[in-house]
């Protein structure tokens, strides 16, 4: 795919295949790239050796699992720890890593290892994949991202393996540590404990709770934010970084307090006060598109479940391993509403005026995302025999690439599974990127502007 993009660039310079150039814009290459990785993973998971039973897994089940892994969601229709063999689990782990970092990061790593130059077309794709404003330093950004990922996953894999070595053998503990470290950092939510239990046995275990949540937060902050923090000694923090850190802190703190309030006399009641705090904190972090849970999601109160829906819809931050409309989008919309309420034309965040085009983009992302969630939930209401909140929860979890579920995932019909597959894919690629990929090339306006007029609002 990358070579195709490179050939398109050279051909376009020569003026040979203009129509092919238009058909392989960066959004289309990214969308097709993710689709290609998903189909490859699905084919591998159908192999008999990928299943613990030695029998081939059905293609729809393999496709659902591969989509969930590449889109770092964590929704599963079969239990990962018992259905798949070590080979199948390894394939899933590889799909999670490629999906979390993006196939362009993996391609860049390959080029760097081979000593090859990164061409202009590939730099354009990297810029698009990481939501950067320009191409300056994109290769250095990918290199730093790969180093940061390896260090984060490696350190916490050892921490988790050391903890689990108390419960299982050292070799098993090491595999659990590696798998769950990669799954948590990439905000995937896949686990190997069997029975769809996730991490419920470790609800009040501080080592597991803080290790997993730290990985989730590090992976969900956004790689450009991490690099900016690392380089803070030589340059100030950007407005994007400061907004991301503030929104992340506010959402986690507010989520923790509200879950404590809602569940204090319910699921949290049997726990000690430190255990309640750990459980509430974990459930406030995991909707950042991680998918792990230490409490029974189906047993939560309706108010708590709806709170998780809101947190899942917001999701993580741009250029991260997470999904959702993103924290900065939510913060930008909140700032725009605040500015309108105070009668100001400019949207100001942290002492900086935000261009109107970015506000419009935030509105477009939110509208498209909301429309997708409404449409899929409506269709699921027609095909599935479950209550509205359960179906809404499943849809938002798929769109936000979260992986939390109220237990309906294995019971979905064929149509329901296909709808969730499409929702996970759209959520990972990004609704706006997907629209750009499906749309025709933009035509120049030739300087023509329509007459301005007004409509009534509100």
Q: What is the pLDDT of residue 197?
A: 79
* Mean per-residue pLDDT, 313-321: 86
Q: Could you report the per-residue pLDDT of 228-257, keeping only the tens digit for each? A: 888 776 778 888 899 999 999 999 999 999
Q: How confident is the model at residue 213 (pLDDT cuts 50, 70, 90)?
A: very high
Q: How confident is the model at residue 13 (pLDDT cuts 50, 70, 90)?
A: very low
Spatial contact of 410 and 78, defined as CB atoms under 8 Å apart: yes
323: nearest Cα among 261, 398, 375: 398
Q: What is the pLDDT of residue 367?
A: 92
* Mean per-residue pLDDT, 423-449: 67
% residues pLDDT > 70 (the chain): 81
* Mean per-residue pLDDT, 426-437: 72
Structure-block tokens of residue 64: 């659902």
Q: What is the pLDDT of residue 340?
A: 85
Q: Could you report the per-residue pLDDT of 318-375, keeping only the tens digit for each? A: 878 788 899 999 999 999 999 888 888 888 888 889 888 888 888 988 999 999 999 9
Alpha helices per DSSP H over 133-272: 138-164, 170-185, 206-220, 223-230, 239-263
Q: What is the pLDDT of residue 400?
A: 92
**In the predicted model, is pLDDT for residue 11 greater than 50?**
no
Q: Could you report the per-residue pLDDT of 141-170, keeping only the tens digit for each? A: 777 788 888 999 999 999 999 999 988 888
- Cβ neighbours of residue 435 closer than 8 Å, sequence gap 6 or more: 368
Spatial contact of 205 and 89, defined as CB atoms under 8 Å apart: no
Structure-block tokens of residue 420: 């969730």
The residue with greater pLDDT, 415 or 437, is 415
Q: How confident is the model at residue 194 (pLDDT cuts 50, 70, 90)?
A: confident
Torsion of CA 264, 269, 272, 275, to 10 degrees: -60
Decide: helix, strand or coil at residue 57.
Answer: coil
* Mean per-residue pLDDT, 282-294: 91
Spatial contact of 185 and 148, defined as CB atoms under 8 Å apart: no
- What are the angstrom distances between the C-alpha of 32 and each of 25, 26, 60, 281? 11, 10, 19, 37
% residues pLDDT > 90 (the chain): 53
- What are the angstrom distances between the C-alpha of 288 and each of 204, 248, 308, 320, 409? 20, 9, 9, 11, 20
Specify the range with the lowest mean pLDDT, choosing from 98-107, 222-231, 256-265, 373-382: 98-107
Decide: helix, strand or coil at residue 339.
Answer: helix
Distance CA 344, CA 358 (A): 17
- Cβ neighbours of residue 3 closer than 8 Å, sequence gap 6 or more: none
**In the predicted model, is pLDDT for residue 6 greater than 50?**
no
Spatial contact of 82 and 11, defined as CB atoms under 8 Å apart: no
299: nearest Cα among 187, 189, 200, 190: 200
**In the predicted model, is pLDDT for residue 39 greater than 50?**
yes
**In the predicted model, is pLDDT for residue 189 greater than 90?**
no
Q: How confident is the model at residue 10 (pLDDT cuts 50, 70, 90)?
A: very low
pTM of the predicted protein model: 0.86
Q: What is the pLDDT of residue 276?
A: 95
Distance CA 293, CA 171 (A): 25
Structure-block tokens of residue 239: 């407005």
């Amino acid at each position: 795919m990358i070579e195709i993009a490179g050939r398109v660039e050279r051909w376009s310079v020569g003026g040979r295949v203009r129509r092919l150039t238009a058909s392989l814009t960066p959004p289309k290459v990214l969308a097709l790239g993710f689709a290609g990785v998903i189909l490859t993973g699905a084919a591998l998971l159908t192999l008999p050796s990928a299943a613990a039973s030695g029998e081939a897994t059905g293609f729809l089940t393999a496709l659902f699992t591969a989509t969930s892994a590449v889109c770092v969601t964590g929704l599963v229709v079969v239990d990962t720890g018992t259905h798949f063999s070590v080979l199948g689990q390894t394939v899933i782990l590889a799909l999670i890593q490629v999906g979390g970092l993006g196939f362009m990061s993996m391609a860049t790593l390959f080029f760097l290892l081979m000593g090859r130059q990164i061409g202009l077309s590939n730099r354009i794709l990297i810029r698009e994949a990481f939501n950067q404003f320009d191409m300056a330093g994109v290769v250095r950004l990918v290199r730093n991202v790969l180093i940061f990922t390896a260090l984060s996953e490696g350190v916490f894999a050892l921490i988790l393996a050391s903890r689990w070595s108390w419960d299982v053998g050292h070799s098993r503990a090491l595999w659990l540590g590696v798998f769950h470290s990669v799954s948590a950092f990439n905000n995937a939510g896949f686990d190997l404990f069997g029975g769809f239990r996730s991490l419920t046995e470790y609800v009040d275990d501080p080592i597991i709770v803080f290790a997993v949540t730290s990985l989730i937060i590090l992976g969900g902050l956004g790689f450009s934010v991490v690099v900016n923090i690392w380089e803070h000694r030589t340059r100030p923090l950007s407005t994007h970084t400061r907004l991301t850190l503030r929104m992340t802190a506010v959402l986690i703190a507010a989520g923790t307090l509200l879950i404590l309030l809602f569940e204090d006399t319910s699921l949290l009641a049997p726990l000690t006060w430190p255990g309640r705090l750990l459980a509430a904190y974990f459930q406030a972090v995991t909707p950042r598109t991680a998918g792990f849970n230490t409490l029974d999601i189906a047993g939560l109160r309706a108010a708590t479940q709806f709170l998780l829906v809101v947190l899942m819809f917001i999701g993580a931050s741009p250029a991260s391993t997470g999904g959702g409309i993103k924290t900065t989008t939510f913060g930008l919309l909140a700032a725009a509403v605040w500015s309108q309420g105070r009668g100001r034309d400019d949207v100001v965040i942290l002492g900086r005026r935000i261009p109107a085009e970015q506000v419009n983009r935030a509105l477009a992302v939110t509208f498209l995302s909301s429309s997708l969630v409404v449409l899929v939930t409506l269709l699921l209401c027609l095909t599935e025999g479950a209550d509205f909140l359960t179906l809404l929860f499943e849809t938002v979890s798929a769109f936000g690439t979260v992986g939390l579920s109220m237990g309906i995932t294995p019971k979905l019909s064929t149509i329901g599974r296909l709808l969730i597959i499409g929702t996970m894919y759209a959520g990972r690629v990004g609704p706006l990127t997907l629209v750009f990929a499906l749309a025709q090339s933009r035509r120049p306006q030739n300087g023509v502007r329509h007459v301005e007029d007004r409509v009534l609002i509100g």
